[in-house]
Structure 1
């Protein structure tokens, strides 16, 4: 018997092959293109009698303007649920961002699902969940001319940090269990229930090889659990099989094997289809066992690009048209080109506007309180910076009319405004963690500037301060906020109002709920004093600021808050979008030199530090 498993993950409501921020087609993304690969992969094996199963691995419901509109249209069928029905999905899992819709909206949308919705380690209190702990799929086939059946057990897990990241939506309504503890329990139950094959939909990436509690990226120890036969991974927007995970312990990145178990991680936004083929043999006495397996990814773009599926294009037509119309609404004006091509080395004007909008809204809400007299800062990080999402994923807004789509282009996440009080010591740790996105540079050598293993949205810039980043030092903190190099200090000369910041000096900082709730593992958050502020969407705050409905804010008006310590003879290689070459004057201080594009299409710019 042969079983083919097809998988998507991290669609983030990229239904069409279209970029709503720039209002242009994008051939590298979109479920309409992945759908063509799905139909082809089915056709290849169905004629020979193989079982074909199709799964989605979560973070499908949020992430683009079309997702926002679809979630609001309560009287209409949800476009993605219709697509899952049209494509014949067998089960869908959930991801952490799906819970950002709030439980009411999430349950309403999932009630339209055409197949089981599985989320094994998230438990809703006080009410029955739409999702279920597991699914058992029974498929009838003929083996050597005789009718028989196969039972496939499916469970699904999300990072336990979801409870904190989405706390502004979930309140105390859910409990999220440890991934590995849940997985061991579900595997035992599914085997006891007679399942021949067990598939894990794991909205998690490849991180530590050790089975420690509360892992966010738990795929490696998860694959080491006996009796899991195939894993769909996700969350980090990387790919497997592929070079993204070369060198990790217990991982065959070329073959898509982790502890010998086939694993696929199909990228982001419909960029890839994951395919796992299993060959099984069976006897009446011992049942079915897997004798061979193969894992592969199929990209929607490249030498043989997948066309858009006409039936899905038609299905999405109304919501696509309505979204384009809505995001064209004018809200303001900009005299300067706003882009994020150089967010990691120079002033990002768009990021400065986000910081100014946050500060303006917060000042308004702190008037007359005890916090009004404390100096105010604003923390913002780039939300479109290339990285795992590819060379097209940058903010790029020309001078002129600002439209609703530009608001989302500046801040793509549905975050809310938060505020904390921190000390000068906290500020130092905050900036050290932020500077961890950079590689250590050495004199006389060229090194890639940004560490691809660090998330770019964790590069917080603290507007209202000035400070120096010394890249001759190693990072003080590792990616999960643990002290890695106690003697290292990349950050120096932190100043407020041109005076050195002292260890005990207090600041109010405007920031988003993701960071305030511990997202990114920043060490300062454990000791920060939260300030109660009204529920305010940062996108709405930004819209009001651009429409002059909020007071003009001085934060963000000056030069770039950070600068690099001089390192004569050291060269940093910045990977950015190809259109960055039109804006090289913005980084003239680094004597930029173009060195071509890499295999993924990123423009490579050599910077002299």
Structure 2
């Protein structure tokens, strides 16, 4: 099946200079020629173009909807559109130094990326579509993201070998030598006039959370120290090697926080800390947080320099543009970051974020990946079974719905079938979260994309032994997702969900709200949202009998949770009794193929509810 190419009904698509103007571009001042630094002084503008969190998006296409991507803001996505902006800026700034970098999370996130990791893997000869596309864009370097490690080191190394630019990871180190196992940085020299050069270094930093999130893939093979600690080692080295400017590509958010609490000594989101605590950094391309920061400054605590931070929005719907203006230094002066004296002084650093939703996709990039895209469209639209009724995840964050029960049922059933010894006699429970509120199964034929839209992450399944006390504390932790409200409503969904917590300053994401269900008997409980977090779980019972602290269960969990993702209690230290490295999404697909029909009558029940003072609340 070849995907249709719909006409651009929402907007007019443009190319070249017109595209830049429509995308919100503000031309940088021209500093060619003499500057204000004395006789003969010159100014040069380095343009840094940046992307991040592309997550396998080449086209403006939603594989789960089998349609052109669209959202409430009418954003567009995909590296094919980003390339149009990059080409236009390169043309607009011809003769000036231009650097193109990425801040990570490239090879996971869409069926396109999954297909060439698992179905037709690049480790067996295929070329990754993101490698093809990024090579055509002409990136100079990219930082490693945490999702680069999802498919294992062999897949990552194969992807690396297919790139025409380096993957940087100064804080992905060998456990024995503590030296980086990927290049920590690059140094590039530009000719900027007769007899003059500008030397630019790019330092790549990835996320310490990889040690938790992909423990099964990296334990014993790589370690991930803090961003600040590694930047403090390598920025002076880069300055000593002659870097006039140091740019950091950091797969780490700007607003300091950690989803894993104190499970690691290094914060998950530390880009601002690098700016504040590491002298000699001039600008940071920020990634990981999936936020848009057009321009932010963080003052370095030692030098007083205002360091520029820019984060483009994810999936390729924004392109970051950083303009770093330097002036030729006259005479001697102190080097920055403990290095040698620079030939240039940074006099201005500005940022902006360009929107790709007015831009036509680049025909060369689009053509190069089209066959792989069409193959994946055919794959995800293949029918694997049927659903007895229409099922939706739209209200999964406020009520127990059958489509989430389906995930729990398949997970628990798979774990139970493999248990032996004393564990085989224990009740089996399962956790699941509403990853995608837009997920649904139609009444009738169900395709791979329907199932993949329900379970959008490449998690694997484990089973751990837990106590009744563990189950209660887990549910209490999960219930932090809800805002504290009084009365029984009616409330809007947003009135009660996505609560702000110390580890989620922008609101607890849906994927950190887990419900628990029993396989052979119901696990029932109420969540009292009138109570403060930590005191919300009431009437917790298994098969109608109150759960005791000492009671034993087997709990089906995904590898993200079991490795500590989200900081949930108990499961990361519990005894593992099942781990076949089976992907949960594939287990769901295989179940549908084997059973033919998804019928809620087989597995679904309403086992949890939101209450206020013991009375059910109404959520409109």
1:11 matched to 2:54: yes
Aligned ranges 1:387-406 → 2 under 5 Å: 394-406=438-450
Per-residue deviation at 1:396? 3.0
> In structure 1, what is the equivalent of residue 353 of structure 2?
297
Per-residue deviation at 1:360? 1.1
1:440·1:472 contact (CA, 8 Å) conserved in 2?
A: yes
> In structure 1, what is the equivalent of residue 232 of structure 2?
184
What is the alpha-carbon distance in structure 2 between the residues aligned to residue 209 and residue 397 of structure 1? Answer: 36
- Larger RCO of the pair (alpha carbons < 8 Å, separation 6+): 2
In the superposition, relative to structure 1, how do residues 320 and 124 fare at CA in structure 2: closer, same or farther (>3 Å)? Answer: farther
Per-residue deviation at 1:183? 1.3
> 1:176 aligns to what SS in structure 2?
coil
In the superposition, relative to structure 1, how do residues 553 and 126 fare at CA in structure 2: closer, same or farther (>3 Å)? Answer: farther
Per-residue deviation at 1:413? 1.3
> In structure 2, what is the equivalent of residue 459 of structure 1?
513
Per-residue deviation at 1:36? 2.0
> In structure 2, what is the equivalent of residue 107 of structure 1?
157
- Residue number among 170, 190, 203 corresponding to 1:139 in the alignment: 190
> In structure 2, what is the equivalent of residue 440 of structure 1?
484
- Residue number among 496, 499, 505 corresponding to 1:449 in the alignment: 496
1:360·1:552 contact (CA, 8 Å) conserved in 2?
A: no
Per-residue deviation at 1:239? 1.6
In the superposition, relative to structure 1, how do residues 237 and 137 fare at CA in structure 2: closer, same or farther (>3 Å)? Answer: same
> In structure 2, what is the equivalent of residue 33 of structure 1?
81
> In structure 1, what is the equivalent of residue 147 of structure 2?
97
What is the alpha-carbon distance in structure 1 between the residues aligned to residue 113 and residue 418 of structure 2? Answer: 30
- Residue number among 528, 540, 557 corresponding to 2:574 in the alignment: 528
In the superposition, relative to structure 1, how do residues 474 and 68 fare at CA in structure 2: closer, same or farther (>3 Å)? Answer: same
What is the alpha-carbon distance in structure 1 between the residues aligned to residue 353 and residue 531 of structure 2? Answer: 38
> In structure 1, what is the equivalent of residue 410 of structure 2?
357
> In structure 2, what is the equivalent of residue 277 of structure 1?
323
1:461·1:561 contact (CA, 8 Å) conserved in 2?
A: no
In the superposition, relative to structure 1, how do residues 551 and 322 fare at CA in structure 2: closer, same or farther (>3 Å)? Answer: closer
- Residue number among 153, 158, 170 corresponding to 1:120 in the alignment: 170
TM-score by length of 2: 0.80
- Residue number among 372, 376, 382 corresponding to 2:424 in the alignment: 372
What is the alpha-carbon distance in structure 1 between the residues aligned to residue 450 and residue 246 of structure 2? Answer: 44
1:356·1:555 contact (CA, 8 Å) conserved in 2?
A: no
Structure 2 residue ranges without an equivalent (≥5):
1-43, 71-75, 300-305, 334-342, 499-505
1:539 matched to 2:585: yes
1:417·1:536 contact (CA, 8 Å) conserved in 2?
A: yes
1:374·1:506 contact (CA, 8 Å) conserved in 2?
A: yes
Aligned ranges 1:2-401 → 2 under 5 Å: 2-27=45-70, 28-44=76-92, 46-47=93-94, 49-71=95-117, 72-73=121-122, 74-124=124-174, 131-142=182-193, 146-208=194-256, 213-224=265-276, 225-241=278-294, 255-259=295-299, 260-285=306-331, 286=333, 287-301=343-357, 305-366=358-419, 368-385=420-437, 394-401=438-445
> 1:123 aligns to what SS in structure 2?
coil
What is the alpha-carbon distance in structure 2 between the residues aligned to residue 32 and residue 449 of structure 1? Answer: 39
1:186-219 Cα shifts (integer Å, max 9, x gaps): 1121112221111111111134389993111112
Per-residue deviation at 1:529? 2.1
> In structure 1, what is the equivalent of residue 533 of structure 2?
475
2:56·2:106 contact (CA, 8 Å) conserved in 1?
A: yes
Q: Which segment drifts farther, 278-287 or 424-433?
A: 278-287
> In structure 1, what is the equivalent of residue 452 of structure 2?
408
Per-residue deviation at 1:5? 0.9
> In structure 1, what is the equivalent of residue 73 of structure 2?
none
2:257·2:268 contact (CA, 8 Å) conserved in 1?
A: no
CA RMSD in angstroms comes to 2.8
> In structure 1, what is the equivalent of residue 464 of structure 2?
420
What is the alpha-carbon distance in structure 2 between the residues aligned to residue 300 and residue 122 of structure 1? Answer: 32
2:235·2:280 contact (CA, 8 Å) conserved in 1?
A: yes
What is the alpha-carbon distance in structure 1 between the residues aligned to residue 114 and residue 330 of structure 2? Answer: 52
Per-residue deviation at 1:438? 2.1
Q: Which segment drifts farther, 370-379 or 163-172?
A: 163-172
What is the alpha-carbon distance in structure 1 between the residues aligned to residue 269 and residue 329 of structure 2? Answer: 37
Structure 1 residue ranges without an equivalent (≥5):
242-254, 386-393, 477-488, 570-588, 592-606
In the superposition, relative to structure 1, how do residues 348 and 52 fare at CA in structure 2: closer, same or farther (>3 Å)? Answer: farther
What is the alpha-carbon distance in structure 2 between the residues aligned to residue 29 and residue 223 of structure 1? Answer: 29
Per-residue deviation at 1:425? 1.6
What is the alpha-carbon distance in structure 2 between the residues aligned to residue 209 and residue 13 of structure 1? Answer: 26
Per-residue deviation at 1:548? 2.8
In the superposition, relative to structure 1, how do residues 408 and 526 fare at CA in structure 2: closer, same or farther (>3 Å)? Answer: closer
In the superposition, relative to structure 1, how do residues 147 and 349 fare at CA in structure 2: closer, same or farther (>3 Å)? Answer: farther
In the superposition, relative to structure 1, how do residues 104 and 129 fare at CA in structure 2: closer, same or farther (>3 Å)? Answer: farther
